[in-house]
Amino acid sequence: MSGWMQRILFPPVCLGCSSLVTEPGTLCASCWGRLRFLERPWCPVMGTPFSLDLGDSMLSAEAIASPPPFARARSAVAYGGVARRLVQGLKFRDRTDLAPWMARWMLRAGGEILPEADLVVPVPLHRSRFFSRRFNQSAELARAVARLACVDYMPEALVRTRRTRQQVGLRASEREANVRGAFVVPDAHRPAIRARRVVLVDDVYTTGATVAAASRVLKRAGAREVDVLTFARVLPGDFRADLQEPI
């Protein structure tokens, strides 16, 4: 089918609201204006933006008070509004077609870490949740990121061994306890992890409990370094444990 015929039969629509746009994989002007891309200056460890440029070596209070097991965390956009609709469309409405476009923004956010990476690994779902959902949204994003960045993709390197509670409605400390001991690197894949730089991919960074637990397991398996890359980030001060809507 020719390009002009495809555009007539399947016109491109906005990723955020499905209104007509001129090019596929884009947002309309209204949705674009409501999307907050995370930019420098930011904490070099946590990737959270600063309101003022405090210098490349200045750490956030979060990074100083509770140093994470990963080296760096980066996210493409702040979670909320259009970004939230994109995440929930991918996660709960089978919009796997969104993943390649979301990954392009993640590629930009991961500009420091992806050139140094040896492997891209997604945060896994437990097999029972995978069978009910039929796909892992983090794996869809990780596969697209790995392809765009020309980095090896290894979805089997990390396994979730027990089904954890949904994190919605849990306080930060409860989230940490919920995912503690939930991940393992299978023995067969430890050689592929050892001494490698791993980029761990998830859809949303909320409190960091999930990616921290997964990073610790990867480090114990011998990973040289673990960086975290997510599509969206719940910024400090925006997290509310009483919110009952799924992330």
Q: How high does pLDDT run on average in the chain? A: 89
Length of the chain: 247
- Cis amide leading into 41 (omega within 30): yes
43-47, 107-111, 127-131: least confidently modelled range: 127-131
The answer to whether 234 and 247 are in contact (CB under 8 A) is yes
> What pLDDT does 228 receive?
98
Angle between helices 82-92 and 99-109 (to 10 degrees): 130
Distance CA 134, CA 107 (A): 25
The domain segmentation of the chain, as residue ranges, is 1-34, 38-233
> What pLDDT does 47 receive?
96
Query: Which tens digits make up the pLDDT trace of 30-86?
Result: 999 899 999 999 999 999 999 888 777 899 999 999 999 999 999 999 999 999 999
Confidence band, pLDDT 50/70/90 cuts, at residue 246: low
Token pair, residue 198, equals 């791993």
Does 2.20.25.90 match the CATH number of domain 38-233? no
Query: Which tens digits make up the pLDDT trace of 193-215?
Result: 999 999 999 999 999 999 999 99
> What pLDDT does 1 receive?
45
> What pLDDT does 109 receive?
97
Pick from 65, 73, 75: nearest CA to 102: 75
Name residue 228's beta-bridge partners: 73, 200
